[in-house]
Structure 1
Amino acid sequence: MTRHIAAPMPESIRHFMRAGQHPARSTTCPWCHAGAHKPCVIRSSGTPSVNVHHSRKDAWARLTACCTTCQVAPGVPCHKDGRELDGGAVHAVRHSEAEATAA
């Protein structure tokens, strides 16, 4: 019997292995609580979804990009008139910035 020992995968190789996945999967989903690098799940049935929840995309954009609309740094929630956007939402331009950063 042959015994295989798994070696840790270098981050440089891991990036290319996950190239077909949306970069937002690197964060935990606040909607369905799927872990990092795991697919989002449909909450009612628990089956994996092929799509990434919008709230996960928002969380990823908040962590990785600056917002040019409200002038905040990565990790800081977007705001309008001094109040944080509802539900942790981000401005649309922040999604564009995050995608440009990931590319």
Structure 2
Amino acid sequence: MARRPSAPMPESLRHFFRAQQHPARSVPCTHCGARAHRPCIVPSNKRQLPQPHPCRVSDWARQTACCPACQAEPGTACHDDGKPLATVHARRYQEAEETCA
């Protein structure tokens, strides 16, 4: 029997189903290679994780919020006296969560 093509899911329903996920899943994970809106996995055994990797959360905060500690714009890394940091300041995480809510 021929399979009928499925209709695309309306954006209002898609938002409702994704509302229960961590907002950091909107960006790809640099640690495990998970695509955007997909769960992080353990690379060795492909087990799905309930929470995203910390580097994914850091990338999400970097892309979505300005840093109140060093005034870094969205998309740029936090810095400490001109030296770029590998992670973001704790206040930037809070700012990203407030922006998302």
TM-score under structure 2 length normalisation? 0.91
- Tell me the SS of whatever aligns to 2:32: coil
Aligned counterpart, 1:94: 92
Matches within 5 A, 1:15-94: 15-86=15-86, 89-94=87-92
Specify the code of the residue in structure 2 equivalent to 1:54: P
Cα deviation digits, residues 7-50 of structure 1 (max 9, x gap)? 22233321111111000001100111100111100122121111
- Tell me the SS of whatever aligns to 1:14: helix
How far off is 1:4 after superposition?
A: 3.2
- Tell me the SS of whatever aligns to 1:33: coil
Runs of 4+ residues deviating >4 angstroms = none
**Could you list the runs of 5+ residues in structure 1 that have no partner in the other structure?**
none
Aligned counterpart, 1:14: 14
Q: Let me know the Cα RMSD of the aligned residues.
A: 1.4
How far off is 1:74 after superposition?
A: 0.7
Cα deviation digits, residues 64-92 of structure 1 (max 9, x gap)? 10101010111111111101102xx1001
